[in-house]
Each structure stands twice: as structure tokens, then as C-alpha cells.
Structure 1
């Protein structure tokens, strides 16, 4: 009798047999998505593209959280496995020079017009899962069970997973026994990195508005300058990680935006900045956020200014991979593609709302990372010690994964991951 591992391996070979034939379509889908990114929770055309693709395959779909799309492949008795791909872009002006580079724009919630780019690779996630759906739908004799395809909006703002849960995702879709997902990242194209336990950080983002008293630039003594407050605050909060966090722990405090005033000789009556905090556990999170609020309030008090206004923009939970699920999925992928580099990786200070989908129904999950850099160039850069500066990171206007083997490996990983927990053989 075949072992479960052997059955998964043979089933994966059969399901993926047509990947080479589908590769041109995979690339076309990716380019189409890359050229037309949409901002978080406004992925209207992207959702329609996904629905059209799944409809051609005869896969029933339903909407969730307005622009989220869920497809369900029911294929007889067996386990239920869910796989998530995020679909939103970022307010970034693309500078990759690609022939299919984005030139579109969008409107932020505050009404600001902005360029939009798939600067985090969500287009690769979506294209790979659509191709995986094509392969699974065409080989129903190879596996049994139910696959739930979750195309999630709004990952970049942490609104998407929470929105789908609130909108009844797990009341409308079959409840999965395991949840899987993946993300493209800097690294040799096609290489796979994963961790068990905490795999991505907690993230909190605030908008901080500091107030003062406006005046003419020639009469600063009549003003309370909020720009000076913001400048001192931004400088001071960097000391939180340097002087209040144990050097053996990890925390990040980043100011990503600041604005204030309208003219060089006008002292405004308010100024603002946004701050992002990354921590790895709830105790550390509480300590850093408490220190951050203390510094903000103290700088305002030092200026004799009114109390600042702190608005929470987003909160991401820690992503905690289940050990058993992760070892099974990654072990299966390693056996399937022995030439593929599948290894435990470093803890990432990036954040994900993926875990909410599983945590909300107490379902174990695994989330892994696939490299997207040219392998030969990456190897040379790592040998020279220049990899961190030569290859753009996610959210860079230059971020552009090489199509292959990145996309094919993502399809393979998704298919093998799902077959690991479905009924095969």
C-alpha cells in the first residue's frame, strides 16, 4: 500500500503535469494584474477578473467584504482545505521600467490621488492561485475533498481578513480543517522559506496630529509651533527601541509620513505624522506603545501645546504557523521538488492579516515565503555582500519578481500544499 507521502507525491505529479502548457496563460494573467493594481478594499476589476476565471472553470463563487471573492471546488467526501491569496495593490508609483508596468492611479480614503502599484507581489499570489485552481479543477479524478479559494482584499490595511470574517466568510464557505497561504519576497527565485511558531510580527500603525497656535513666520514668539513638536517627537521615539527594548528582543518603530503647513512663512496650528510599530509578543507590544504615547504627550506638554490626537490606522496580529501543519506541507514540497531549496528561514518583522482567517475559527495554518530574485544575480550579490542593497524589497517602487521560476514554484507549492491535506491515492 502506498504511504500518504507517496500518494501525495504521485497525485501532485499528475495535477501539475499540465503546468508547462498553462504557463503562457499564467504569465498573461500575472501581467494583466500587475498592470492594473487597485487599492485596498477597492479591487473591483480584480474581483471581476477572478470571478470570470473561476466561472470558466465551473467553480461557483460568492463575494465577501464587497471585493473579496471565494471559490469552492467540491469533489466528493474528504477533507476541506482553504488557500488564501491577497489581491490589493499599494499607493506607490512604479519605477521598474517593465513593459507591463502600472500607470494607473487611485484615490486614498482621505481623497488624495495617488499612483498605484503591485509593489508587494499580490499579483503573483493571485495569478498562482488561479492557475492552481485550473489544475485542480481539471484533475478531479486524482484527489477528493473540498478546496476553498479565498481571494482576500485589503491585506495592506488589515481590513480585508477582518472584513471577510465579519461578512460571514466561514458561515458561507465550508469550514476548513487547515488554511494555507504564501508570499513572494526577496530571495533566490523559487526558493522557499518557512518557520514554525511566530513567523511574522504584530504591527500597529497610528496617525498622530500635534496641535499648536498659528502665527506669522516672523513672529514665532506668538506661536506654538507644531512642526517643532513633530520634529522632536520623531527624533525622540527612535530612542524607544534603542533604550527601552531589551537588546536581545526585536522591535521596530518607523515614521512613514509627515506633513504640516502650507507656506514657508506661516507657522501652522497643526502638523501630523504616521508611525508603525512592529513587535513579537503582546507584552513587548504593550511596552512599546505605552512608551510611544508617553513621548508624544510629553513633547506636546514641553511645548505648552494641547493634547495630541492619536488615531489608530491598523493592527495586525502575530502570524503563528502550526508546527504539525507546517512540517507536513513543507516536507511534502521538499520531497516533490528535490532540486527546490525548501528550508527554515529567518523570522520576518513584516506583518500579515492572514492568521486572522484561521484564528477566528481556531483552524491551524501554514504560511510560507517564496523568493523572486534572479537566482544567478542573487548568488553573486550574496557572495559580494551586496544583496540587501542590490535587490529591492517589497513595497519598493522597483520591486519586480522575475516571472520564472517564481510563478511556477508558487503554483507547485500551492498545489502540493493543498494535496498534502486532501484525500489522494
Structure 2
């Protein structure tokens, strides 16, 4: 049945490739994806979806295709871009600049492949809509914004996604990455880490750099916090568990001979279990408060947690069924077992909200021969990964594989 449905891809391939290049050339930051959302909604309407809704949870787009009695199956893709300056050299490379949520002008690039995600879902939706004689049930297509902020899924749920539209019995999604194009990467159980971000403001007492004794130096305070944080994973997280603590931002001062009043840190954590996640969060708060007190801070630090995403758990039983179908379609030689990934995805919010299985997989976007050679040598650092200014999937066979995988997965669960 899947082969029958995907046979129509040959007629769509050129149009989808053009759509992909257009989205790649015109990326939009999280919560600003208005142009992209309008184009995606138009594609669903042109495909004949019964219902298409825009501005769900911000700029989200939802399509409903009813095709008789049967299961409700949800296919999801994200479509926001990143504040990254593209360095791929492609003829359709982005030169876009935009103003971010904090008022800063930044370059914008689809450095994580969300443009490919969105185009593959439009292709799959079009093929399934054109082959309704091959399946029964309801197809729920969800284009989710703001994944890079880890808020888009919750925004859509909070806007009544599952009250306004049919409730799915399963959530299916995929992510393109630095694997050989044409190959499917799969795992089961906890697949991607939970993520939390924290902004910290440390309060000192500023003054002249020549008189440090008259100040409380927040820069030194921040440096001690950064150093001490590195001991959390090494000395507090059990060796059999996994966690990451990253300080990605440290900002303080304006001039070399002025000790500032404040210092700011941006901290990000990853963990796979709730217990480790709580341990790390608590340890960070303890370290920040303790270092501030030890330094004689003029007042307690300010801590603001945000951007929280749960660990992505690919339901073992449902994943086994889906992976078996993908393997039968693509061939076992194109299936690659995946280790746990410390990166995060908020797609798990949908299934977690409803208490239904989520199945998630990866597929390759890099030139196959070169990528396989790098993997064989163990030199993964040679490959541009997601969020790199050099990351851009080869259009084919990446696009076709992504469309086919979504069609096969959907038909596995539709009647």
C-alpha cells in the first residue's frame, strides 16, 4: 500500500524541491514564522484538506483530513529557523536578517533543517490526500512553530489544539541530521534529552578597577559560578546516568578598568530522567546562591528558568511496529540504530499531554559516501551538524526519503 501511495512522489518532487529552496532562502525566527505558515496552510488547502487552521498557538498551522471511520494519526513538523549566519555557499543560501525577541538584529538561517521537515510533511500530506482509497481514518497534520525556544508545542496545546481538533491516538515525527542521505536512524525509549534553560543575574557593587577593595566584583563571582558548575555532572550525577551543564552566555561590564554592578549568565542543562533533571536544577540553584553569598553579593541572585522541554521518549512498542514498517519499505540496509541524543525536541509534549504514544526517528541529510567514510573513521567532527552555519541537507535523496518515511509511518497506523 505504501508503494502505491508514494508512487505519486515522482510528480511532486520538482515542485517540493523548489519549495524547499524557497523556505531555505527565506527563514524566519521562532514566533515570527508568518510567511512560512501562510505558505504551508495554502499547500494543505490545495491538497484538499477538510479543515485548515492558522495562528494556532502563535503561528502554528493545523490540517485535518477525514477519510471515514478509523484511527486519528498525527504527523508533526516544525518550521522555525535560528539566529545563525549561513556559510554554506549554496545558491539559495539565506541572507536574511531580522530583529529577535530581545530587539537585536541577527542573521537568520535554517541551520537545523526545519525547512526540510516542513516540506517533507507537505509532500506526505499531499500524497495521502490524493490516495484516500488506500486508507481509512483521520489525518491530523501539525506544523509547529517555535521549537527552537522549546515553547511551540506547549503554545499549541495551550491554544486548544486537542479541544479544537481530533485527538490523535499516536504522534509521529522525524528530524533530519548528519547521517547519510537516504538512511533512517532509529532508537527506542528515551531518545532525546530533556532541556531547561536558566538566566542568572549576579549583583555586585561596581567601581573603579584600581580600587577592587571598594567593590564586590560580579565578574569574579560569575567566573567562580562557571567553574563550580562543572563539578555537578562530574561529582553529583551518578556515573551510570547522563547529564550536561553548559554556560553558553556570560556578559558583564563595558570597559576594562570598570568593575560592573552585575554579571549575567545563560545556562542550559540536558538530562534523560526526571530524577537527574531535578538533581541538576537544584544543584545549579545551590551553587549560584552559595557563590553569591561567599562573594558578599549586595543582594541575592535573580534566577529565571525558561525553555523547558521534556525528555523525548519514543514509545518502545509503537516504535517497534513503525520501525518494522520502515525497514520493510526501505530495506534493512538503510536502517541505522541510534544512540541517545543529548539534543532536545519538544514534540514529546503532544503525546505526553494526551497520554498517547510518540514515535520519533531521524533521517540523513548529508552526502552518503562522504558521511559513511567519516562514520567509519570515527571522525564525526568532519560532518556539519545541526545548528552549524555549514549545515544544509542535500535536496535529494533527503527530500524523497523524508516524504516516504512519513507516508509509511502514517499508513502503519491508519486503517
Q: 8 Å contact 2:229–2:287 — kept in the other structure?
A: yes
Secondary structure of residue in 2 paired with 1:248: coil
Q: Which residue of 2 aligns with 1:93?
A: 85
Secondary structure of residue in 2 paired with 1:71: strand
Q: 8 Å contact 1:188–1:379 — kept in the other structure?
A: yes
Secondary structure of residue in 1 paired with 2:395: coil
- Is 1:328 aligned with 2:318? no
- Is 1:199 aligned with 2:191? yes
Q: Which of 222, 243, 254 does residue 235 from structure 2 map onto?
A: 243
Q: Which residue of 2 aligns with 1:48?
A: 38
- Give the TM-score taking structure 2 as reference length: 0.96
Q: Residue deviations 1:10-63, cap 9 Å, x none? A: x11111102122111111111111111111122111111101111222223012
- Is 1:127 aligned with 2:119? yes
Q: Post-superposition shift, 1:218?
A: 2.1
Choose 332-341 or 231-240, whichever is displaced more: 332-341
Q: Which of 169, 172, 180 does residue 188 from structure 1 map onto?
A: 180
| Aligned counterparts of 1:314 and 1:280: Cα–Cα separation in 2 | 16
| Aligned counterparts of 1:212 and 1:339: Cα–Cα separation in 2 | 60
Secondary structure of residue in 2 paired with 1:199: strand
| Aligned counterparts of 1:38 and 1:94: Cα–Cα separation in 2 | 13
| Aligned counterparts of 2:305 and 2:375: Cα–Cα separation in 1 | 39
- Is 1:284 aligned with 2:276? yes
- Is 1:66 aligned with 2:58? yes
Q: Post-superposition shift, 1:71?
A: 0.6
Q: How many residues align?
A: 412
What is the alpha-carbon root mean square deviation over aligned residues?
1.3
- Is 1:256 aligned with 2:244? no
Q: Which residue of 1 aligns with 2:392?
A: 400
Choose 373-382 or 160-169, whichever is displaced more: 373-382
Q: Which of 64, 75, 89 does residue 67 from structure 2 map onto?
A: 75
Q: Which residue of 2 aligns with 1:344?
A: 337
Q: Post-superposition shift, 1:200?
A: 1.1
Q: Which residue of 2 aligns with 1:367?
A: 360
- Is 1:37 aligned with 2:30? no
Q: Which residue of 1 aligns with 2:350?
A: 357
Q: Post-superposition shift, 1:290?
A: 1.4
| Aligned counterparts of 2:324 and 2:412: Cα–Cα separation in 1 | 9
| Aligned counterparts of 2:169 and 2:228: Cα–Cα separation in 1 | 47
Q: Which residue of 2 aligns with 1:19?
A: 9
- Is 1:173 aligned with 2:165? yes
Q: Residue deviations 1:54-99, cap 9 Å, x none? A: 1222223012112000011111222111100011111111111111
Q: Which of 304, 307, 310 does residue 314 from structure 1 map onto?
A: 307
Q: Post-superposition shift, 1:339?
A: 6.0
Secondary structure of residue in 1 paired with 2:185: strand
- Give the TM-score taking structure 1 as reference length: 0.94
| Aligned counterparts of 1:380 and 1:404: Cα–Cα separation in 2 | 19
Q: Which residue of 2 aligns with 1:8?
A: none
| Aligned counterparts of 1:235 and 1:271: Cα–Cα separation in 2 | 15
Q: 8 Å contact 1:190–1:340 — kept in the other structure?
A: no
Q: Post-superposition shift, 1:340?
A: 5.1
Q: Residue deviations 1:176-210, cap 9 Å, x none? A: 11110000111111221222211111111101111
Q: 8 Å contact 1:85–1:125 — kept in the other structure?
A: yes
- Structure 1 residue runs of 5 or longer lacking an equivalent are 1-10
| Aligned counterparts of 1:383 and 1:334: Cα–Cα separation in 2 | 22
